[in-house]
């Protein structure tokens, strides 16, 4: 039996890491819970920033709540399968 899990991803993000101020609003707003805040890494301004895990739905909740407009959201024409 395999320990690998398949996750369907319907969208993806481009995150302007250096513009992020680490407010965490996107983390709480993400319906599938695929945004996580970095633990140790910080941007050029000294703030932690979000990282995207597999499973994005392209819903744009992160971009709608972000006060600094750090997200560009793209939705795939065909869902992508990712094995982790």
Q: Which fold has domain 6-75?
A: Alpha-Beta Plaits (3.30.70)
State pLDDT tens for residues 54-80: 999 999 999 999 999 999 999 999 988
Residue 81 burial (CB count, 10 A)? 10
State pLDDT tens for residues 14-47: 999 999 999 999 999 999 999 999 999 999 999 9
Distance CA 5, CA 32 (A): 16
In the chain, domain spans: 6-75
Give CA angle at 69 (64, 73), nearest 5°.
65
Structure tokens, 83: 């094995």
């Amino acid at each position: 039996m395999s320990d690998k899990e398949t996750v369907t991803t319907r969208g993806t993000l481009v995150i302007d890491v250096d513009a992020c101020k680490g407010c965490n609003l996107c983390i709480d707003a993400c319906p599938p819970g695929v945004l996580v805040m970095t633990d140790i890494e910080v941007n050029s301004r000294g703030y932690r920033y979000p990282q995207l895990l597999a499973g994005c739905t392209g819903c744009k909740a992160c971009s709608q709540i972000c006060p600094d407009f750090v997200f560009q959201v793209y939705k795939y024409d065909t869902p992508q399968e990712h094995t982790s």
